[in-house]
Chains A and B, each alone.
Chain A
Amino acid sequence: MLKQVPATESLIGIAQDGISVKTDGIKWVINPYDEFAVEEALRIKEAHGGSVTIISVGPETTAEAIRTALAMGADKGILINDPASAAYDSLKTARILAAVLKEAPFDLIIAGQRAVDDDSFQVGPATAEFLDIPHISMVVKEEITDTKIRCHKTIDGGTAILETQLPALITTQRGLNEPRYASLPGIMKAKKKPIDIKNVADIELGSEHLGEPLTKIVSMKTPPDRKGGHMIQGDSAQAKAAELVRILHEEEKVL
């Protein structure tokens, strides 16, 4: 599963409508956590065989991100196209993905733990829920044996090892792998690989789910800037350190 997001070095500004971000001048990339997902899928294919399908919900330009994943080595892509997908909440995205995945045979779904734009951490687990399969999040290492997958995953304050039956969904954590770059022959081959572009209106979701998203952004602002630049002065390192500690203790009261 893949989402196209603004590159993390992008400056993000708020658009005129006040509830979305400016998109002009943004460099769009594969969500970094989804890049780990693509890489892991390719490694599993290299070790165990099978094929790798990339699935995404987004506007038509998302096809570029899918094409990049195909150039890395994936076999085919599915894009559920909706120019208005930016207004979806995560539940709606997951519902659409699950509806399409129900029709597509799979053994394992790999998703990013979160997209670095909405930071919602929801789409992976919610998709698994709609598909009625188990999920293991924040995976740093996986081993597949026969019909099972065993994962090392990040937990707060440590790591855990969990196992489950396939089919399952896992989400990626930094440290899982180092994604490869697309090679030139890979890029050439990717041009001929199929991307199935579906219209979101053609997806069967059940009429009760076609309405408004359950969570809706009503306003956006940029976090308040810090005063900034109060440089601690002093004749020596010792004096500066003492002055900082004095301020933190007496004025800020954080010590």
Chain B
Amino acid sequence: MSKGVLAIAEQVEGVFRKVTYEALSEGRRIADHLGSELTVLVLGADVENISKELKPYGPDKIVVADSPELNEFLTDAYTNVIYDFIQKETPDVIILGASTQGKDVSARLSARLNAPLAMDCVAIRFEENSLFATRYMYGGKILADVELNGTPKILAIRPNALDITKADGPGILQNFDVDTGATALQFIDKRLDTDKKEITEADTVVSGGRGMGSPDFTVIEALAELLGGAVGASRSAVDEGWRPSSDQVGQTGKVVSPNLYIACGISGAIQHFAGMSSSNVVVAINKDPEAPIFAKADYGIEGDLFEIVPLITDEIRKLKS
């Protein structure tokens, strides 16, 4: 195993997603272990300029697939270009973020290459020549170790799960001729909530549940904003129509692994635990001292969230000033 590691970068509107740096850092660690090269592939339109931002994370090569046809992410065009590149470079390991894009591309590549894929994995390790990935199943109720047999091995890593580390590497910039091939998907339009932080990538998530009582999430929005975090919601809050389903944390929503998770007015259904159990520190605030969430939190405060949360916000503001 020494033909190299390929990391696939992901950028949105010319900004790399955080998971790109995580994939690159983990890719560097794997390449070092294998004694092989790390190549990062950047796809998009007018992305040559931003590509050098990846150099501090230690790639041997930064390959830019730049084309107006790659301006918007389309699964088929992106998969075709990445597939062409894989055919040329024949990497042993491919690593990318298990974002919405990454999930689509990795599943397609796995099928096209007949290659093993560990989707949404949170840890990667070698034992002799075997590669194992750890991933959550049953919405976080089970942690499984999966062995990948075959080549190339595809690792789609969960955002926020792996460390970002800077490393030295030549970072030689190269271009790759783009041929999007036969495509069937057509981009019509998109809407980005630019002022809204994606909960799967946030360092802090403050979530509200049934205890919010209404769509007014002002108190937890203020806390999340102060912490540079994102606002999440329990299924009850989404079912009530208070928050969009894209905010839902849980087994039938998103799985988050922030450094700090603050659950406000969430009693804690088993499906909710599934969505936040890989968080580092969990705080629960609830009126009901019997709420199951307290047993699953590191710290609990019994009390009215509308009183407690603004006080916490004030305390943190004091701390920061």
**A245 and B300: CB pair below 8 A?**
no
Q: Does B259 contact A (CB under 8 A)?
A: yes
Residues from chain A with a CB closer than 8 A to the CB of B312 are: 241, 244-245
Residues from chain B with a CB closer than 8 A to the CB of A232 are: 299-301
**Smallest beta-carbon distance A71→chain B, Å:** 22
Contact with A along B153-188 (1 / 0, CB 8 A): 000000000000000000000000000000011111
Chain A: number of interface residues, binned into ranges: 35 or more
Q: Does A185 contact B (CB under 8 A)?
A: no
* Residue from A9, A117, A163 in contact with B186 in the complex, judged by beta carbons closer than 8 Å: A163
Chain B: number of interface residues, binned into ranges: 35 or more
Q: 4 shortest A-B CB distances, which residue pairs?
A: A241-B311, A214-B116, A125-B107, A129-B111
| Contacts A125-B111, A160-B187 supplied; 5 other A-B pairs, CB < 8 Å | A32-B252, A156-B101, A159-B191, A161-B187, A248-B283
**B138 and A119: CB pair below 8 A?**
yes
User: How far, in whole Å, are A238 and B303 apart by their CA atoms in the complex?
Assistant: 11
Q: Does A195 contact B (CB under 8 A)?
A: no
Q: Does B316 contact A (CB under 8 A)?
A: yes
* Residue from B75, B187, B251, B304 in contact with A237 in the complex, judged by beta carbons closer than 8 Å: B304
Residue of B whose beta carbon sits closest to that of A211: B149
Residues from chain B with a CB closer than 8 A to the CB of A120 are: 119-120
**Smallest beta-carbon distance A147→chain B, Å:** 12
What are 25 sample pairs from A and B whose C-beta atoms fall under 8 A apart?
A: A8-B274, A12-B142, A91-B117, A125-B103, A126-B108, A129-B111, A136-B185, A137-B100, A150-B188, A155-B73, A156-B12, A156-B200, A157-B194, A159-B190, A160-B191, A162-B74, A165-B184, A174-B245, A216-B147, A218-B146, A220-B145, A223-B278, A226-B296, A232-B299, A237-B308
**Complex interface residues of chain A between 157 and 180 (CB less than 8 A to chain B):** 157-165, 168, 173-175
* Residue from B73, B192, B315 in contact with A241 in the complex, judged by beta carbons closer than 8 Å: B315
Instruction: Give residues in A with beta carbon < 8 Å to B.
Output: 6, 8-9, 11-12, 14, 19, 21, 32-33, 89-91, 94-95, 116-122, 124-126, 128-130, 133-138, 140, 150, 154-165, 168, 173-175, 209, 212, 214-223, 226-232, 237-238, 240-242, 244-245, 247-249, 252, 254-255
Chain B binding surface, main DSSP class: mixed
User: How far, in whole Å, are A242 and B301 apart by their CA atoms in the complex?
Assistant: 11
**B110 and A162: CB pair below 8 A?**
no
**A229 and B300: CB pair below 8 A?**
yes
**Smallest beta-carbon distance A30→chain B, Å:** 13
Residue of A whose beta carbon sits closest to that of B118: A215
**A130 and B146: CB pair below 8 A?**
no
**B119 and A245: CB pair below 8 A?**
no
**A214 and B114: CB pair below 8 A?**
yes
**A230 and B298: CB pair below 8 A?**
yes
Residues from chain B with a CB closer than 8 A to the CB of A228 are: 294-298
**B116 and A215: CB pair below 8 A?**
yes
Residue of A whose beta carbon sits closest to that of B253: A174
**Complex interface residues of chain B between 287 and 321 (CB less than 8 A to chain A):** 294-304, 307-308, 311-312, 314-316, 319
**B185 and A9: CB pair below 8 A?**
no
Residues from chain B with a CB closer than 8 A to the CB of A156 are: 12, 17, 99-101, 198, 200-201
* Residue from A128, A161, A174 in contact with B189 in the complex, judged by beta carbons closer than 8 Å: A161
Residues from chain A with a CB closer than 8 A to the CB of B120 are: 119-121
Residues from chain A with a CB closer than 8 A to the CB of B138 are: 6, 12, 21, 116-117, 119
Residues from chain B with a CB closer than 8 A to the CB of A164 are: 184-186
Q: Does B143 contact A (CB under 8 A)?
A: yes
Q: Does B84 contact A (CB under 8 A)?
A: no
**Complex interface residues of chain B between 70 and 124 (CB less than 8 A to chain A):** 72-76, 98-101, 103-104, 107-108, 110-112, 114-120
User: How far, in whole Å, are A94 and B255 apart by their CA atoms in the complex?
Assistant: 24
Q: Does B136 contact A (CB under 8 A)?
A: yes
Instruction: Give residues in B with beta carbon < 8 Å to A.
Output: 12, 17, 72-76, 98-101, 103-104, 107-108, 110-112, 114-120, 132, 135-150, 184-194, 196, 198, 200-201, 204, 227, 238, 244-246, 248, 251-253, 255, 259-260, 269-271, 274, 277-278, 280-283, 294-304, 307-308, 311-312, 314-316, 319
**A174 and B252: CB pair below 8 A?**
yes
User: How far, in whole Å, are A122 and B121 apart by their CA atoms in the complex?
Assistant: 13
User: How far, in whole Å, are A19 and B144 apart by their CA atoms in the complex?
Assistant: 8
**B283 and A244: CB pair below 8 A?**
yes
**A254 and B259: CB pair below 8 A?**
yes
Residue of B whose beta carbon sits closest to that of A163: B186
Most B CB within 10 A of own CB, among A140, A161, A241: A241
**B142 and A241: CB pair below 8 A?**
no
- Given A125-B104, A156-B17, A223-B277; A231-B316 close (CB under 8 Å): no
Residues from chain A with a CB closer than 8 A to the CB of B143 are: 220-223
User: How far, in whole Å, are A79 and B120 apart by their CA atoms in the complex?
Assistant: 28
User: How far, in whole Å, are A164 and B187 apart by their CA atoms in the complex?
Assistant: 9
User: How far, in whole Å, are A91 and B200 apart by their CA atoms in the complex?
Assistant: 26
Residue of A whose beta carbon sits closest to that of B139: A116
**B108 and A245: CB pair below 8 A?**
no
Residues from chain B with a CB closer than 8 A to the CB of A21 are: 138, 142
Residues from chain B with a CB closer than 8 A to the CB of A212 are: 149
User: How far, in whole Å, are A117 and B141 apart by their CA atoms in the complex?
Assistant: 9
Residue of B whose beta carbon sits closest to that of A14: B142
Residues from chain A with a CB closer than 8 A to the CB of B294 are: 228-229, 231
